[in-house]
Amino acid sequence: MLPCLNKKLFGVECMGCGLQRSVSLIFQGEFIEAFYIYPAIYSLIALFIFISINIFFKFKHSNKVIGILAILSVSTIIISYLIKLIN
């Protein structure tokens, strides 16, 4: 695993800390643990899958779906980061 430079230099975790471990846990079949480590993992996966499919097959309201998934992902990342800072 790559170390977090933000955590190494400043001692504070960044908003992406846990993403790498979460993806690793998904490949190992530990889906609940992956969510606990990085709660935005599933909304990010849904976003990237939808964008990938949308490249080949154009959907009517794809911009709205991408926007909603992006807002959901970013808000989940920010909220989980703030909770992590408080604890």
Tens of pLDDT, residues 3-31: 888 888 998 888 998 999 999 999 999 99
**Three-state secondary-structure class, residue 69:** helix
The pTM score is: 0.86
Residue whose tokens read 């993403």: 19
> Strands, E, within 1-87: which ranges?
none
Distance CA 44, CA 41 (A): 5
Q: Please, what is the average pLDDT of the chain?
A: 93
